[in-house]
Structure 1
Amino acid sequence: MGFADDHLIALVDEGLGNSAYLVDLGDGRALAVDVSRDLRAVHEVARSRGLTVAYAADTHLHADFLSGAVQLGHDQGTTVLASVAGHRAFPHRGLADGDEVDLGGLTLRALATPGHTDEHLSFLLLDGRRELGVFTGGSLIVNSAARTDLLGAERTEELARAQYRSLNRLTTLPDATAVWPTHGAGSFCSAPPGAERTTTIGAQKLHNPLLAAPDQDTFVQQLTGSLGSYPDYFDRLTEVNRRGPEILTASPVLATLDSGQVKALLADGGHVVDVRPAAEYAAGHIPGAVSIPLRGQFATWLGWLLPDSVPLVVVADDDQDLGEIVWQAYKIGYERLAGRLSGGMDAWIADGHAQATTAFVAADQAPAGPYVDVRQNSEYVAGHVPGAIHIELGDVAERVDDVPAGSIVACGHGERAMTAASLLERAGHGDLAVLKGGPGEFGAAHGVRLESGEGSSA
């Protein structure tokens, strides 16, 4: 068919740090690779090009989002392509190492590349005998490889050794072969995350430090030594993807709830998620609400910090995108969205209900300490306030007793710190302040030089 650059469209989820791909097969049909349950971008591109998604290939049983392949199969009759070793419990074409699929001019060849997961496949796209590119999912990623600890600490080293073999297998492809990973910048499946999203085999031979490891033992040490924490919800999604996410017959929407309904839901064990900007949350919020500002990382922190098994009530501004809230929740399996507080905080207050506030202070107004840094470990190590107590945001709820009274809670800008403060306030802390800004601003305002390396963890 003659494959041109514009036949491949990358669909980037900046929040989760992943890339899905749509390949225009040139005959009104398309191949989708590693698409999530939020299919809005897929449908938009397909409509603009007059395409029907004929095939949907999944490289592995994703741990960080629900696959959209089953939905495409229901909606468009799409053939789902996935590893036979994944034992998926829905209609699909199971592929083993070396199996090929005729796409009508192009060919897709399955390559077994275990490591990130046991059943992981990469998909090599060929035009005749010419290797155009390889969809590497969670195996080879830009200047790194995906993490190998998702199946438990007891298997991390075993899978890292499998990852070593898989990456070395991929490097036998011609140098000009494009590399199209799923995981990339911002993904907690990367180890560590990088900035670029696509590359070539040749570039990776030159620049990927893991491929420069002189032997397998060194590779394993480097890979496993770079692993940070990851969201709790990852552990729940693999089995959902194996069974197949529930089919949606219509786009989900947020119902409207009055303040009385919200109070009843809270009394029955529900949670309030306040998606407004941090400053608005600070100025006034429902007592006990968890602040998770609506931005690209909303799904990550929702899945990390709150259960998927209880009703969730949303507090949002009128100008915030309710569809974005819903789809970010649904793509990670959070479907118990009870609704949105109608009229927001104005209605809540007008109905006579109490609100809480949180101090949100600029660096020059912040107390000198204790300083609690809730950033990821890699950020903290790169530079932190001397004497800072380091508790990653994902660990705050389990370590509330490690936060001293009168602490200033900080991250890089203020959003994650406000989330941390909301969790601490739920646990009974009422004497906190949140820093507007990060360690650089605090250091400049207080005349202290930042330190690097490990510091205090409580």
Structure 2
Amino acid sequence: MSTVDVVPLVDEGLGNSAYLVDLGDGRGLVVDVSLDLRGAWQAARRRGLELAFAADTHLHADFLSGARQLAATEGTRVLASAAGHREFRHSGLRDGDEVDLGGLRLRALATPGHTHEHLAFLLLDGDRPAGVFTGGSLLVGAAARTDLISPQQTEALARQQYTSLQRLAGLPDEVAVWPTHGAGSFCSAPPGARRTSTIGAEKAGNPLLRARDADAFATALLDSLGSFPPYFLRLAEANRRGPAVLNSYPELSALDSARVQSLIAEGAQVIDARPVERFAAAHIPGALSIPLRPVFASWLGWLAPPEPPLVIVREDAQDPAEIAWQAAKIGCSSIVGELAGGMDAWTAAGRTTMSTQLVRADEITDQHVLDVRQASEFAAGHLPGATHVELGALADQADALAASPTVVMCGHGERAIGGASLLERAGHRDLAVLQGGPEDWAEITGRSLEV
């Protein structure tokens, strides 16, 4: 493994890793850093580093890049693929180009597949390759998806991904592998705790590197792909044009209950970020429940309608800056503010609320069970007779679902309460949310899950 000082900056919610490289002279390089720069700033300050370079392996679909922000506010030099045709100042690199980082060097390797213009960056210490930032090409145990450009190009990109992985596999076994996408990423990465690896470990354990040819590789990769948030189809172009530079930290403006009521009447959508139990007890009619947790950004981008203004409801103990930063990093600019005083202010003003029933596994009787987990989770084990609709598809299918007593479930309850709020907004009533998941149901009832 490399002895170069490389610090992973893990975004558990997006399932991604950015990287900070200490160049040893008071300067640093960041790779694939998002617009939520808090982690990079903190890590750089701890080491007394100036962020001199920011490299992007590709036009990201799952977050806005922070590279342009760094360039505008800190004079950081942006390194990215010339084939990406970015519309802001950057050093456009092509296959084989090298950048002198002051002792260390960064070599661009064309690795198309995840995107057309994808580059991996080989970090060289003298002539020794220390590690490679693989972005969305070679992942730990996998390779990133190739279906984010267009359906017509998906298979051709998968074949390019095969060639790119074979090229990376030709590096020495001891070279460190530093991918961007990891477990939890909708850009296609398997579950697992490891976020970094080596070329040798991937050659030994990555099934896609053992595919006999491009045909077998493409079949295996494409068969493994699940759904992804619709905002993925917008952000690559936003990153190509260049994300708007923030002149101040994102924040939530305070709105009194009368103003929120007026905004709702004009078509605004309320996003309730409170925990499951608090939303269930009382919420604004029509509010969409997206509990604040690391994956808040992904579900906000997936479930919130893109056009109308958004109003946040939160608990006092929940950090408004966390909500604002998570929204900013996925390009959600439609939040107009938050309900000042939260639900206490809403109820004190005598305004209408609704509630949602929470049930334990042993309280499910003859209700219809709706499972809103991802398809792979449902296939791994579900309640007998349960209907399956992924949460991300539920808004489009709500009208087709029977208006019968329904228990909505997921793995723990956060996605289920979101599903119940979507159904409620579509006019469904007599809804309940299961506290827990399928394993809890099996343990409490003593019954077996279906697969």
Place the TM-score, normalised by the shorter chain, in its bin. over 0.9
Could you tell me how far 1:402 is from its partner in structure 2?
3.8
Per the alignment, residue 377 of structure 2 pairs with 379
Match of 2:237 among 236, 239, 242: 239
Per the alignment, residue 36 of structure 2 pairs with 38
The question of whether the paired residues in 2 share the 8 Å contact of 1:287 and 1:354 is answered with yes
Per the alignment, residue 429 of structure 1 pairs with 428
Per the alignment, residue 455 of structure 1 pairs with none
Per the alignment, residue 12 of structure 2 pairs with 14
Amino acid at match of 2:360: A
In 2, Cα distance between equivalents of 1:444 and 1:171:
44
Per the alignment, residue 158 of structure 2 pairs with 160
Could you tell me how far 1:448 is from its partner in structure 2?
2.7
The question of whether the paired residues in 2 share the 8 Å contact of 1:191 and 1:226 is answered with no
SS of 1:235's partner is: helix
1:291-340 Cα shifts (integer Å, max 9, x gaps): 00000110000000113332111100001011100000000001222111
The question of whether the paired residues in 1 share the 8 Å contact of 2:79 and 2:93 is answered with yes
Could you tell me how far 1:4 is from its partner in structure 2?
6.9
SS of 2:208's partner is: coil
Could you tell me how far 1:11 is from its partner in structure 2?
0.2
SS of 2:221's partner is: helix
Per the alignment, residue 349 of structure 2 pairs with 351
The question of whether the paired residues in 2 share the 8 Å contact of 1:101 and 1:108 is answered with yes
In 2, Cα distance between equivalents of 1:276 and 1:403:
27
Could you tell me how far 1:151 is from its partner in structure 2?
0.8
Which shifted more, 156-165 or 264-273?
Answer: 264-273
Q: Does 1:183 align with 2:181?
A: yes
TM-score normalised by length of structure 2: 0.98
Amino acid at match of 1:118: H
SS of 2:279's partner is: helix
The question of whether the paired residues in 1 share the 8 Å contact of 2:141 and 2:190 is answered with no
Could you tell me how far 1:191 is from its partner in structure 2?
4.5
Match of 1:229 among 227, 230, 253: 227
Amino acid at match of 1:108: L
In 2, Cα distance between equivalents of 1:432 and 1:402:
16
Q: Does 1:449 align with 2:438?
A: no
The question of whether the paired residues in 1 share the 8 Å contact of 2:181 and 2:189 is answered with no
Per the alignment, residue 401 of structure 1 pairs with 399
The question of whether the paired residues in 2 share the 8 Å contact of 1:191 and 1:227 is answered with no
TM-score normalised by length of structure 1: 0.96
SS of 2:209's partner is: coil
The question of whether the paired residues in 1 share the 8 Å contact of 2:2 and 2:176 is answered with no
1:73-105 Cα shifts (integer Å, max 9, x gaps): 011100000000000000000000000000000
Could you tell me how far 1:352 is from its partner in structure 2?
1.2
Q: 1:5 to 1:279 in 2, by over 3 A?
A: farther
Per the alignment, residue 362 of structure 1 pairs with 360
Match of 1:336 among 331, 334, 337: 334
Residue correspondence of structure 1 range 283-362 to structure 2 within 5 A: 283-362=281-360
Amino acid at match of 1:265: L
Per the alignment, residue 415 of structure 1 pairs with 414
SS of 2:324's partner is: helix
In 2, Cα distance between equivalents of 1:369 and 1:377:
22
Could you tell me how far 1:192 is from its partner in structure 2?
4.0
In 2, Cα distance between equivalents of 1:446 and 1:395:
29
SS of 1:281's partner is: helix
SS of 2:166's partner is: helix
In 2, Cα distance between equivalents of 1:145 and 1:195:
16
In 1, Cα distance between equivalents of 2:366 and 2:22:
57
In 2, Cα distance between equivalents of 1:260 and 1:316:
17
Match of 1:80 among 74, 78, 83: 78
Per the alignment, residue 456 of structure 1 pairs with none
Could you tell me how far 1:442 is from its partner in structure 2?
2.1
In 2, Cα distance between equivalents of 1:316 and 1:104:
47
- Structure 2, unpaired ranges of 5+: none
SS of 1:320's partner is: coil
In 1, Cα distance between equivalents of 2:301 and 2:90:
28
1:189-240 Cα shifts (integer Å, max 9, x gaps): 0254544210000000000001111111111110000000000110110111
Per the alignment, residue 439 of structure 1 pairs with 438
Q: How many pairs align?
A: 450
The question of whether the paired residues in 2 share the 8 Å contact of 1:372 and 1:403 is answered with no
In 2, Cα distance between equivalents of 1:380 and 1:348:
38
1:116-141 Cα shifts (integer Å, max 9, x gaps): 00000000000111000000000000
Could you tell me how far 1:447 is from its partner in structure 2?
4.2
The question of whether the paired residues in 2 share the 8 Å contact of 1:191 and 1:228 is answered with no
1:361-419 Cα shifts (integer Å, max 9, x gaps): 11112234311100001111111111110100000001113433101100001110000
SS of 1:399's partner is: helix
- Structure 1, unpaired ranges of 5+: 453-458
Amino acid at match of 1:159: L
